[in-house]
Amino acid sequence: MSDVASELARVQHAFAQPTLTLLHQRQAPVVITLFREAFGRQNRPVETARLHTQVEEHLAAVRTALGDDLAAELLPPGSGRELCQRWMRGRWLVRALDERGREVYTLTSHAQQALELVTTLTRDRATLSEHRIATILSTTRRFNSEANPDRGARVGLLNEEIARLTAERDRLVDGGDLAGADGDYMSEGFTELLSLVSALPSDFARVEERFATIRTEILAAFRAEERPAGEVIDDYLARADALMTATHEGRAFEGAFALLRDDQTVSQLREDIAALLEHPLAHGILGDAERAELRGTVRLVRDGLDRVLAQRSRVTATLKEYIVSHDAERDRELEQTLRHLEAELTTWMGATGPRATHEVPLLPSRVGVEHLRERFFDPADDVAPERLVAQDADTEPVTMAELVAQGGPRIAGLRERLDAVMSGLTPAGTLGEVFAGLEEDLRRPVEIFGLLHLAAEHDWEPERPPSLPPGAGSDGGVDEPPVPVPVQVERYAAVRPDGTARTFEVPLLDLPDPDLGHHHDAPDQPDQPDQPEEAR
């Protein structure tokens, strides 16, 4: 009973494989047909959007051929995109990027194995034949001659084979009869050869998937390691070196790669296939598709090798990128943050009911920053200025009077003069009259700003005349805006330190009457002719 139970467990495990789950479903004939039509015998990658369209077109053609009732039972429901996603979940399709960066679909090794099984069942083959018995005998003999551990036995087997081949060669050289192969023998041989060739894509796909699995396993182990980074990298390099010899798929690939690396072997294979296809009986046994499949055997093998090598290079590139960009400190900070969040969540759940909810924003809120720094610390900005060079003995020193003449307004002297005017000691009605009564060294252009500064301290402002009513001086339209009247100005005759004179026009500012406490009436100013810009 235990033997039956263990056998049942093994059979159940086999039926749980994606290959048999694909063949066991009700829509398996339609799915297998779609895979064969879309990917062909060489499992060519198909772009995702193109496969979605092809699946819908093929399903529409099958629905038209079967009719609505039978199509509803045999055809899988859903759009092309939905079916491809369902097949990816069933591990029959895989989506990846090709060498040009396009997103493509390819069949997994499970799907290709199912296609291979269906293709084998569709071929007519005898259950027992002379060719099969001869193949078993020759294969067993060759296997024993290559694997026998007894040196003497292996030498004896080789001598027997050499003697047999030598006798056959001498017989043919002496004009002996050339035994020909009949139709059954050729048909059985081509059937077995096609079976072996059709199994190559699934074998290569299985090796490619094994490399992808190893990449995931090594990457997960690398992330989970808590050892020093150097030790982890050394361990990874050791595992990468043993990658091709530590697994059955890797060893098989290395053997096939070493065999096909020999140009003489590849040329011999191509010549043997061409000779078989030129056999007189081959035209009646093989169809066009089968002849094309045999003729493309070498290309099929090379394409499979290229895909496996590309996957192996992708493993190395992915791990190298992870090693280079790995930041242990950042990972520790992220781990601490996640642990803190987990602790806070546990505390919150312990203090709330089972139906309590808490609104958590999907994305963090934006931080309002009024100004970001555009310039950062530059060591060149903190360099001390160069030391001043001492003046030569023949250079005349700058006097204090020259420095004062080139400086700003002398507020103290202007305030004394303005206080004298406000106390009635010096008569003046406007700020321009005050400036005109100053000494020549106090009538520099910059002193005008000093007087205006003192006037602003006393809140003195020039009076603006009222605007004219709307329509004044026109035909009386009511929609016209008020007409502004220009502000009256007075001239300030300034003297520069070098003795040159310049006149400035400044808004008229009346001084308050020291006795009445209000501004003087603005004297009538005659119309001033336009002055050139230099005089202003």
Partners of 95 in the β-ladder = 105
pLDDT (mean) for 242-248: 61
CA atoms within 13 A on the CB side of 385: 3
- With 80 as the cut, is the pLDDT of residue 242 above it? no
220 lies in a domain?
A: yes
477 lies in a domain?
A: no
Residue 333 and residue 421 in one domain: no
- Cβ atoms of 96 and 107 within 8 Å: the answer is no
Residue 204 and residue 329 in one domain: yes
The residue from 74, 105, 122 where one domain ends is 122
Residue 414 and residue 338 in one domain: no
Report strand pairing: 103-107 vs 93-97. antiparallel
pLDDT band at 472 (very low <50, low <70, confident <90, very high): low
CA–CA separation, 351 and 347 (whole Å) = 7
365 lies in a domain?
A: no
pLDDT score recorded for residue 243: 59
Partners of 47 in the β-ladder = 104
449 lies in a domain?
A: yes
CA–CA separation, 499 and 440 (whole Å) = 9
73 lies in a domain?
A: yes
Counted domains in the chain = 3
Could you give the C-alpha distances from 500 to 398, 443, 494, 503, 523, in angstroms and in order?
21, 11, 9, 10, 29
pTM: 0.45
pLDDT score recorded for residue 216: 75
Residue 376, both tokens: 């950062």
CA–CA separation, 288 and 442 (whole Å) = 113
The residue from 122, 142, 168 where one domain ends is 122
% of residues, the chain, pLDDT over 90 = 3
The residue from 290, 320, 343 where one domain ends is 343
CA–CA separation, 451 and 455 (whole Å) = 6
Interval 329-346: pLDDT, tens: 677 778 788 888 888 888
- With 50 as the cut, is the pLDDT of residue 536 above it? no
Residue 330 and residue 422 in one domain: no
pLDDT score recorded for residue 493: 92
pLDDT score recorded for residue 238: 67
Interval 178-191: pLDDT, tens: 777 777 778 777 77
| CATH assignment of the domain containing 72 | 1.10.10
224 lies in a domain?
A: yes
Estimate the share of the chain in helix, then strand, then coil, as percent rounded to the nearest 5.
Answer: 60, 5, 35
Quote the domain boundaries for residue 104.
Answer: 2-122
Place of tokens 């595992």: 239
- Cβ atoms of 199 and 116 within 8 Å: the answer is yes
Interval 72-114: pLDDT, tens: 777 888 888 889 998 988 888 888 887 777 888 888 888 888 8
307 lies in a domain?
A: yes
- With 70 as the cut, is the pLDDT of residue 231 above it? no
Could you give the C-alpha distances from 452 to 93, 447, 483, 506, in angstroms and in order?
86, 9, 28, 10
Residue 458 and residue 325 in one domain: no
Residue 36 and residue 113 in one domain: yes
pLDDT (mean) for 153-178: 85
61 lies in a domain?
A: yes
Residue 105 and residue 15 in one domain: yes
Interval 414-465: pLDDT, tens: 898 888 888 877 777 888 888 888 888 888 999 999 899 988 888 888 766 6
Interval 357-391: pLDDT, tens: 878 777 777 777 777 777 788 887 788 888 877 66
